[in-house]
Amino acid sequence: MIRSTECILISQRYYALNMLFKFGIAKCKHISTPLDRNIKFRRDSGKACDLTWFRQIVGSLIYLAITRSDLSYPVRMISQFMSQPMTEHLQCSQRILRYVSGTKDMALLYRRGIDEQLVGYTDADWAGNAHNRRSEYASSLGSAAIAWSNKKQPIVALSSTEAEYGRATVDTCEVIWLKRLLRDLHLANPTMIYCDNLSSTHLAKNPIFHTRTKHIEVHYHFVREHVLSGKVEPAYVPTG
């Protein structure tokens, strides 16, 4: 961490360099994405690989992901196969290392004087591949993210609206907790929570539930209560 009167820089560059040398990736060709966009993981694909070597790579990446939100999803995906990894999973972990090699200088930069507005981003994947059904959120304050999560959806959703709205519920809980921590900084403005699903943003604002969404009201009225109280404000953001 580097601290000055103008900013705070949190970086794991030295750790990333040591990790790349350890696994022999330091001089390999860089790659622009950590995972292939259309990859579909299978538990029985290919031959079994070196279990110890795979676990060492994944464990190192998990530690690096503490300050790298862009690694949160790919690292979580490959970490599901720690007990019985296959050659495909090892190749994916090595691809992530090649991505890290080209982005080792990336860091969290918190600048002084930037508008200290707490903002939340939420997303969920509904009815996707069995191994890819995920939900995620990220919260930023000022110039950089301060909290993020990527994990399997904890619910079985009957529609994309319910999946997105359920993810917004978890994000709202995180935002309310962060607002309490920031209360001493007098950040009293409503927190924007961006979602890429129009139906879920309308559902959070509209107090009238239709017949098809009554089951959602029972489970996730938490969001609407905080919207009505003015603590959070849902807004639509395009997926792109």
pTM, 2 dp: 0.69
Ranges of CATH 3.30.420 domains, the chain: 113-236
Q: Which residue has the tokens 């995972």?
A: 35
Task: Quote the pLDDT of residue 64.
Answer: 94
d(CA 126, CA 99): 27
Mean pLDDT of the chain: 78
pLDDT band at 159 (very low <50, low <70, confident <90, very high): low
Output 69 or 189, whichever has higher pLDDT: 69
126-144 confidence digits (pLDDT tens): 545 445 455 676 777 777 8
| Residue type for position 31 | I
Is the pLDDT confidence value at 217 over 80? no
The model's pLDDT over 30-68, given as tens digits with 9 standing for 90+, comes to 899 998 877 777 776 678 888 999 999 999 999 999 889
Q: Strands (DSSP E) along 74-117, which ranges? A: 108-111
Q: What is the 3-state secondary structure (H, E, C) of 140-198?
A: EECCEEEEEEEEECCCCCCCHHHHHHHHHHHHHHHHHHHHHHCHHHCCCCCEEEEECCH
User: H or E element: which one contains 95?
Assistant: helix 87-102
Give the C-alpha separation, 220 to 138, whole Å.
19
- Averaging pLDDT over each range in 13-27, 28-42, 179-193, 216-230, which range is the top one? 13-27
Enter the CATH code of domain 113-236. Answer: 3.30.420
Predicted confidence at residue 15, as pLDDT, reads 95
From CA 44, how far away is CA 32, in angstroms rounded? 27
Residue 95: pLDDT band by 50, 70, 90 thresholds?
Answer: very high
